[in-house]
Chains A and B, each alone.
Chain A
Amino acid sequence: MEHYHMNLTLKVWRQKNSQTPGNFETYNVNDVSSEMSFLEMFDVLNERLISEGKEPVTFDHDCREGICGACSMVIDGRAHGPWGGTTTCQLHMRAFKNGDTIVVEPFRANAFPVIKDLMVDRSAFDRIIQAGGFISVNTGNAVDGNAIPIDKDDADKAFAAAACIGCGACVAACKNSSAMLFVSAKVSHLALLPQGKPEEKQRALQMITQMDKEGFGGCTNTYACEAECPKEISVMNIARLNRQFLKASIEEE
């Protein structure tokens, strides 16, 4: 792939904290390499802002290899940028060309309040997990992981669902700020396996109750979440969650 340099105009959302209103600031970033990642481009901008004595742009990041789920950002209206199946840290500047203007916003949802600039508080996801996204295991000797035979198809589906990194792009992309894709992935990856069966009813009911309590919207099946998910989690997991919720509603007293 051809290596080139570009000059860009960035419109970046700046917000002091969740209590103060934010606004866009415009920055010119010159001589950006096409081989940089999007976050490295922000590193360059921040180095410059620091050397100028200005406040750098705050953004979430950790592993920078697409597995931690820390990076966020809505880039030109797209969660994690224009590429499919990637996180912001995996988005490279070759997705842009010289002279582009790029609008960068935080993940926007009432349930994800802005901490600062592009960094949002996604602890609502943690509380949904705490409500039922686990299996209970007795203490004692470790059980042989392969002692229970598991259908290959179920194991594959569970594994695909477990690929969810909990980044929140589904919420950011959804017109209703719904967390259904996240919750459905977490429910599916446990409910498809025998170890997850004993608690499946409580899990579906409690995680949905917590999801509603956190202020996420309801699902209207636009499937924007699936289109934006960096791990390409399927909306068929949402169908499974709906099935589990309905079954649990009918059976549980």
Chain B
Amino acid sequence: MKWKQVFASSIGKKIIMALTGLFLITFLVVHAYVNANVLFTNGEENFNRAAHFMGSNIIIRIAEIGLFAGIILHVVQGYMFEISNRGKRANKYAVKAGNATSTWYSRSMALLGTLILLFLIVHIAQFWVPSRFGGLEEVTYDGNLYHNLYARMKAVFSQEWVIALYLLGCFSLAWHLLHGFQSAFQTMGWNDKKYFPVIRQVGAWFSVIVPLIFALMPLFMYFGWEIPSGGLTFLF
């Protein structure tokens, strides 16, 4: 069987969803790690330095191309798969089983994904675009110039509609991950009765912790909260 046939098959399409999904999950870990800086003392400088590293390191810049490719592939393939699957039952049931046989979020991956995508478009326009194409203030640490992304965040996260949109994005992400994490392992065949409970547990914790860290960021900025770190710099 040729690779073209493999990826055109129903399992092949799912393998693309699983691999891109797992890649995006690893990105979430890095992103949440960098974000966590702003929750702690001296968050402004630490975050700006971390963001500078992410924007200037050649390996990370190359990975960024892969990241955009991964997002586009995951979104396009996801929609195509959803449309194709919806077309497999022309006559719908009059009565639906609903939550009796499956969870609502496992059936709503396209809807949750769409909400995440809408959030993502606004998010990229607010932060990624100005940091790559200019429009940010600059700040000096140890005689070097850095983009003041922190100041940008302060400004962006002072608007209520932005906070609401970001919370909706994090909420959607949590449910999307709760199904997607374990689903990726199942699709790749890395699953058995012995490992399923562990995969599900890890996935559930991941789905709570990572979106929570993301959600805390706009809330901390809006309300001016801070976790005292006792003078320790958190990450960088």
Interface residues in A216-252 by Cβ distance below 8 A to B read: 216-224, 227-228, 234-236, 238-246, 248-249, 252
Q: How many residues of B contact A (CB 8 A)?
A: 46
Assembled-state Cα–Cα distance A245/B86 (Å) = 24
Asked if B97 and A78 sit within 8 Å, CB to CB, the answer is yes
Say yes or no: is B159 at the interface (Cβ < 8 Å to chain A): no
Write out, one digit per residue, whether chain B residues 185-228 have a CB within 8 A of any chain A CB (1) or not (0).
01111111100100000000000000000000000000000000
A residues within 8 A CB of B107?
A: 175, 222
Q: Tell which of B12-20, B51-59, B137-145 binds the partner.
A: B12-20
Question: Which one, A173, A175, A234, contacts B193 given CB within 8 A?
Answer: A234
Say yes or no: is B92 at the interface (Cβ < 8 Å to chain A): yes
Write out, one digit per residue, whether chain B residues 1-20 have a CB within 8 A of any chain A CB (1) or not (0).
10101100111111100000
Asked if A212 and B98 sit within 8 Å, CB to CB, the answer is no
Assembled-state Cα–Cα distance A111/B87 (Å) = 11
Write out, one digit per residue, whether chain B residues 81-101 have a CB within 8 A of any chain A CB (1) or not (0).
100111111111111111011
A230 to chain B, nearest CB (A): 13
A94 to chain B, nearest CB (A): 19
Asked if A223 and B106 sit within 8 Å, CB to CB, the answer is yes
Known pairs A208-B11, A212-B10, A252-B1; A242 contacts B101 (CB<8 A): no
Question: Which one, B9, B12, B95, contacts A105 given CB within 8 A?
Answer: B95
A75 to chain B, nearest CB (A): 9
B197 to chain A, nearest CB (A): 12
Q: How many residues of A contact B (CB 8 A)?
A: 51
B residues within 8 A CB of A176?
A: 85-86, 88
Assembled-state Cα–Cα distance A236/B98 (Å) = 22
B residues within 8 A CB of A234?
A: 193
Say yes or no: is A196 at the interface (Cβ < 8 Å to chain B): no
Say yes or no: is B109 at the interface (Cβ < 8 Å to chain A): yes
Asked if A242 and B188 sit within 8 Å, CB to CB, the answer is yes
A residues within 8 A CB of B190?
A: 239, 243
Asked if B11 and A227 sit within 8 Å, CB to CB, the answer is no
Interface centre among B9, B86, B101, B188, by most A CB within 10 Å? B101
Say yes or no: is A189 at the interface (Cβ < 8 Å to chain B): no
Assembled-state Cα–Cα distance A159/B115 (Å) = 44
Question: Which one, A77, A105, A205, A238, contacts B1 given CB within 8 A?
Answer: A205
Interface centre among B3, B13, B89, B196, by most A CB within 10 Å? B89
Residue of B at shortest CB range from A177?
A: B88
Interface residues in A170-206 by Cβ distance below 8 A to B read: 173, 175-178, 205
Write out, one digit per residue, whether chain A residues 71-83 have a CB within 8 A of any chain B CB (1) or not (0).
0001011110000
Question: Which one, B1, B6, B193, contacts A236 given CB within 8 A?
Answer: B193
B residues within 8 A CB of A11?
A: 94
Known pairs A105-B95, A212-B9; A220 contacts B89 (CB<8 A): no
Q: List 23 A-B contacts (CB under 8 A).
A: A77-B97, A105-B93, A108-B93, A109-B88, A175-B107, A176-B85, A176-B86, A178-B88, A205-B1, A209-B5, A212-B9, A217-B88, A218-B11, A218-B85, A221-B106, A227-B100, A238-B186, A239-B190, A242-B15, A242-B187, A242-B189, A244-B189, A249-B3
- Knowing that A78-B101, A221-B106 touch, tell me 13 more A-B residue pairs with CB under 8 angstroms: A11-B94, A74-B93, A74-B95, A77-B93, A108-B89, A110-B87, A111-B88, A177-B89, A212-B9, A234-B193, A239-B191, A241-B189, A242-B187
Closest 5 CB pairs of A and B: A243-B189, A77-B95, A218-B10, A176-B85, A239-B191
